[in-house]
Structure 1
Amino acid sequence: MTATDPALTALAQGWCALSLLHGQIESHIERALQAEHGLSVREYSLLDVLSRQHDGEGGHLQMKQVADAVVLSQSATTRLVTRLEDRGLLARYLCPTDRRGIYTDVSEAGAALLAEARPTNDAALREALDEAAQNPELAPLVRAVETLRVPA
């Protein structure tokens, strides 16, 4: 394959379209969450991921797992956790079975803010997808996102 190979060109164009769709959706949601709740997309995502933890085997996520889930480096995730902890939205505590482990949980204030912000996030996502569906380059990707079902 060469750099001018039609398959590579099509692949690059597809990647550019996917990147454009992601950027448009993230920007739209960011504006809505900031305006209504003072949250960034990353902050919302972190609260959402941590709110899904549970007691029991494998119920609490390690910082690396959290970082992977919110698509940030471990150091960026730690800084984000610290910012949200400073705002009273998260709390950290030592793992009861391994004193080296630190868990992070959503506080009552964080859970309340997340509950308030979830409809805003969902509506902004729907608006961004509807807008992107009007673009012929993005419409197939929007349809793919809308039909995607992630296993529980």
Structure 2
Amino acid sequence: MLTKTENLRSDAGLASALRVSLARLNRRLRKQGAHHSLTPTQLATLAAVESHTEMTPGELAEHEKVQPPSMTRVIAKLEERGLLARKPHPTDRRQVTVRLTEAGTALLKEERRMKEAWLARQLKELTPEERAALRVAAPILARLSQM
């Protein structure tokens, strides 16, 4: 049986360790968010609209890698809660765009504040060397998440 260090030397071992660790960290971060009962897909949709200012439902579906009918349902739920608003497309009257409302912006801000505060507390428990390693790894993880 391989030790943890020997296992991390192979790409397959590294992939396995990253998968498990990132999944656990993601679950822990989700628990730290604001108590609003939004699904991860709904939160991701709000964040996508925020980063693009306005998007069509089709653009959102493509961005989030979901089927258009699923995104239509997500948008409807977020609109019901007053977090997204639809408006006519500026150049194509057959389409609409969605944008964040003030309530949607406030919810995302609070969500991030709570998660980042929790993570900052956890980082304080690490050694300076461990935090330095994470500073190096953060852009690499960001790149992996975009592939």
TM-score relative to the length of structure 2: 0.65
- Structure 2 matches for 1:1-152, cutoff 5 A? 10-35=10-35, 37-54=36-53, 60-126=54-120, 130=123, 143-145=136-138
Q: 1:124 and 1:69 mapped to 2: Cα distance?
A: 28
Aligned to 2:3: none
Structure with the higher fraction of residues in helix conformation: 2
Cα RMSD (Å): 3.5
SS of alignment partner, residue 99 of structure 2: strand
Query: Structure 1 residues 116, 78: closer, same or farther in 2, change over 3 A?
Result: same
1:107 aligned partner, one-letter code: T
| Contact 2:42-2:74 at 8 Å conserved across structures | yes
User: Identity, % of aligned pairs?
Assistant: 27
Letter in 2 for 1:26: N
**What is the rounded CA distance, in whole Å, between the counterparts of 1:69 and 1:92 in structure 2?**
18
Between the two proteins, the alignment pairs up a number of residues equal to 130
Q: Is 2:78–2:84's contact at 8 Å kept on the other side of the alignment?
A: yes
- The runs of 5 or more residues in structure 1 that have no matched partner are 1-8, 55-59, 135-139
Q: What SS class does the counterpart of residue 91 from structure 1 fall into?
A: strand
SS, match of residue 92 in structure 2 = coil
Higher relative contact order (CA 8 A, sep 6+): 1
- Deviation string 1:110-135 (CA, Å, 9 cap, x unpaired) is 1122222221132344467x49x79x
Counterpart CA distance in 2 for 1:73 and 1:126 is 36
What code does the residue aligned with 2:77 have? Answer: R
Given that 1:33 and 1:39 are in contact with CA atoms closer than 8 Å, whether structure 2 keeps it comes out as no
Q: Which moved more, 1:69-78 or 1:88-97?
A: 69-78
Q: Letter of the aligned partner of 1:30 in structure 2?
A: R
Q: TM-score, normalised by structure 1?
A: 0.63
Shift in CA distance, 73/100, structure 1 to aligned 2, threshold 3 Å? same
How far apart are the structure 1 equivalents of 2:68 and 2:134?
A: 30
Q: Structure 2: state its 5+ residue gaps.
A: 1-8, 128-132
What is the Cα deviation at residue 104 of structure 1? 0.9
